[in-house]
Each structure stands twice: as C-alpha cells, then as structure tokens.
Amino acid sequence: MPQKVILDPLTRIEGHLGIEAVVDNGRVVDARCSGTLYRGFEQILIGRDPLDAVQITQRFCGVCPAAHALASAQCLDNALGLVPPHNGRVIRNLIQGANYIQSHILHFYHLAALDYARGPEFPPFIPRFEADYRLPAKVSQDIVSHYVQALHIRLKAHEMSAVFSGKMPHCASVVPGGVTVTPAVDKVTTFLWRLKELREFIDNVYIPDVLTIAAVYRDYSEIGRGCRRFLSYGAFDLDSEPDVQKRTRFFQMGRVVDGRRAPVDPGRITEDVRHAWYRERPPAHPSRETTEPDRKKAGGYSWLKAPRYEGLAYEVGPLARAMVNSADNANPALAKALDGALAQLRLRRENLCSVMGRHLARALETKVLADAMADWVLQIKLDEPVAVGHKLPEAAAGMGLWDAPRGALGHWISIRNQKIERYQAVVPTTWNASPHDGKEQPGPIEEALLGAPVEDPANPFALARIVRSFDPCIACAVHLVTPRGRLLASARIV
C-alpha cells in the first residue's frame, strides 16, 4: 500500500525545504518539493535607485552573495552599456572564485559528508537519520576530523575574497562597470598565500575524501539521476565581449540535451506558476514576469516558481557545468579531471547523472578553478584602472547571466525615471527545486527522487542524500512577510 513520507524541514541545506514522497513497494512513485518561505526581494527593489540592486540582491543569501553581486552588476553593465576594464574583469573573477571554493567545501563537509561518515553522538551531529554507514571506522573518523579543518579553510577563502571585495559575506567593492578596490602588490601576495593553502587542502583532503566515498557508495552512482537535461550560463569572463552569448568564459555557457551540447538563447526562458503560490497567469519571460503572492491558491504547494527552457525542466549547478564543459572538450582541464576520476572509479560517463556524480563534479571544478586562479591573480596590472564611469539613463533594460556555485543565476532589470521599475531574479535552486509546471512536469529534484529506494519510510536517508547532492539554497530561491503588515517585533539599535 502506498505510504507518504514527509521530510519538512529537510535539515543540513541552506534554508527551509519540504519534501513529500509517495513510496510504494520500497520505491518513490511521486514526489513534491516545496519552498516554504516567501522572499519578496523583487518588491523591495521596485522604486529604488538601480545602483542599490548590487548590494540589496546580495542579501538573498549569506553563502553565495558574490554571485548575486556579479549577476546584478552585469545586469546593470548590460542596461547602461558598460564594459569593465581588464582589472575590473579579473578582480571580479577572483572575488567569485574565492566564494566558489568556500561554498563547495561548505557543502561537502558541513552539509553532505555526514550522510556517509558517522559523526559523534552530540550536536550538531545528532539527531540524524540512521543511514547505512559503510566507511571503515578510521576513514570515517578522518572525514569527520576534516569537518573541523574545513571550517578553518572556509575562513581562509572568505579572507581571500575580502582582499578584493572589502568584506565577506556581501561584497563592498563590486559596482557597475568594474570594481572599486585599488590593486597593490601586498593584496596580490596575500591572495596568493591563502590560495596556496586552499589548493593544498583541495588536492590532499577534499578530492581524496570525495573519491573515497564515491568508491564505497558505488550504488549512488546509479541513484538520483534526475531529468538529464543540463543548463549553464557559464562564469568567469576571459574577455571583454559585450554580448554575453558571445563572451568567452572559463566555464562556458551552454546546454546538454540527449548527450549533445547546444547553445543557450535567454529569450526561451520562462517562469511557470501553476503550482506556485503566485497569482495564476501564463508562463512568461523573466523580464516580463511579476511577483504577486497568492498563499491560498488552489493547487499551489511551493513559494518557488518553475523556470523552464523551451518548456522543459533543466538541472543546473556543478554537474551541469561539468556536462556542458566536458562536451566538445570546452574546458580541457575539467574534461581531463572528469575522465581521470571516472577511470579511477571504474565508472562510465552516464554515471555522472547521479548523487555521486554531483559530488564529483563539484570537487573537480573546485580544483581546476583554484588552479586557474593562481594565474588570474598574476594578470592584475597595478597601474591600470579597475572601473569605467557611467551616467544613469532615464530608461533602460538589462540582464545579467552568470553561474553561481549552485548553478545558473539570472537577474533582469527595467529602469524608468532613473528608478527600478521591475526586477526579477531566477536563481539556481528555483531551477532545481521547482515544483510541477502547468504540464505536470516535475522539477529536477522531484524527478531525481522518482524510483529512489526507501526500505524504511521512517528512516528515508536515501531521499536526503539525493536532495543534498543538489546543494539546494532555499534562501535564494523563494520569493518573510506578514501580508497584512502586522508588526512581529521591534528593536532599538544602539
């Protein structure tokens, strides 16, 4: 007899996510993924100075604020017709790169690894699902000890970003047209010294730990396959081409459908709200989309909308970047790293579409990115400008397409009377944790849960492993309010 399994809230992710799964004969036959907070940033931005967007949108999330700073700044670059100078482009990449490393290490050690390595019997390691812990005791103890070491490494990554961003979280130096920080020799050497420590940890601890877990949990290279359509906007600009679709990026823009690489046309992106708690309307492009909450809407079960490309759900994130950038050898370093890891684990390329494939893709892109950053920081030209000036037009529109650590991130703005008329952000977890759409097509996480094994509905650890492999960030993805304006609390700041 079918049985409903509810994980709400699912812990060890960013934000509040609810999972409902129907289990029949030990397998998931239906799944619902629900974002349970309303964000409301789109309304906060309306009527503000357009330049405020770079700072306000970073408050979506404390883990990946750099990505929102970059997407928002590129959105304004596009609207105002700005092209950052060489130093502005390179320093933006370094700020974002440091945040990628911090975010990926956080995800593996502080959110996902404890699904496979048994922690001590005290908080924050309990309560937990009693999973099938298979690692030898000594290996498990080592990985748990790396949990503590990773806290120090994340601090180093934050410090490295702050060298050029001013502070972390929430960058102070990213602006439309470039950055405001003045490069100097001491900043370059400080950045390089911390990067050296991070690369040693990635090479000698992070990647070996991921490979060890992947070798022991080989069945999770077959579980959680998902929709097997992948989309990436790319990240880390390597030239100053104004058109984002023609720009060369370290992680290139593209899609993979049926195993083949295809281009991305931003005009084909829509947002569907059939099962989201927003006023019912046909799917619309983000530049024309509005955000009108309707908590009592019949059929609604999430504060996340359902982004679709040509009407289809797409997975975004490290696995999507791996699939796009290894197809046609678009990023030779990442393609080589993937091939080497698959050979070592005696896995096939199709095994990448899985729980372990996502962990492997995330770890390997951390390595190739950190290696590249050692060259990028030496490209800074100390005596050259870091930004171009601008004049705010009366009216304009723009978009910023960028890959955050968790995947494709798009910001769209329209400006009228030098104020923000409309702002929409479609974030990575909106893609991955989206609800069903008007065609009853499940979102990528919902599809990854279908068919998953659940031997004990009271202990559905496999479902938690699948969802966490996507590294969902609900704080970014949902759109807190009291609709009637009721005062919840007041505070006096002294």
27-56 pLDDT, tens digit each: 999 999 998 777 778 889 999 999 999 999
AA identity, residue 426: V
Q: How far apart are CA 157 and CA 177, in angstroms?
A: 25
Asked if residues 54 and 74 have their Cβ atoms less than 8 Å apart, the reply is: no
Tokens 């797409």 -> residue: 314
What DSSP letter does each residue of 244-258 carry, written as one string? TTT--EEE--EEEET
Structure tokens at 312: 């289809």
pLDDT, one tens digit per residue, over 297-325 is 999 999 999 999 999 999 999 999 999 99
The structure's pTM equals 0.93
Give the span between the Cα atoms of 468 and 13, in whole angstroms: 7
Q: What is the pLDDT, as a whole number, of residue 411?
A: 97
The answer to whether the beta carbons of residues 439 and 282 sit under 8 Å apart is: no
And the tokens for 85? 């100078």
Cα distance between residue 251 and residue 369, in whole Å: 9
More reliable by pLDDT, 311 or 485: 311
Nearest to 360, CA basis, from 59, 18, 112:
112
pLDDT at 40: 79
- With the CA atoms of 140, 141, 142 and 146 taken in that order, what torsion angle do they form, in degrees rounded to the nearest 10? 100
Residue 399 CB partners (closer than 8 Å, separation 6+): 75, 78, 244, 266, 286, 287, 410, 411, 412, 413
Overall average pLDDT of the 142-161 stretch: 96
CB-count exposure of residue 329 (10 Å: 0-12, 13-18, 19+) = exposed
- For residues 369-373, average pLDDT: 98
What percent of the chain has a predicted confidence (pLDDT) above 70?
A: 96
DSSP string, 167-190: SSSS-SSEETTEE-PPP-HHHHHH
pLDDT for 475 equals 60
| pLDDT greater than 60 at residue 378 | yes
Q: Which of 475, 431, 237 is nearest to 319 (CA)?
A: 431
Residue 3: count of CB within 10 angstroms of its CB = 11
Looking at 132-201, list the stretches that DSSP marks H as alpha helix, in order from N- to C-terminal side.
Answer: 137-165, 185-201
Span 218-237, pLDDT tens digits: 999 999 999 999 999 999 99
Could you identify the residue written with the tokens 């309010």? 481
Taking the C-alpha atoms of residue 58 and residue 11, their distance in angstroms, rounded to an integer, is: 23
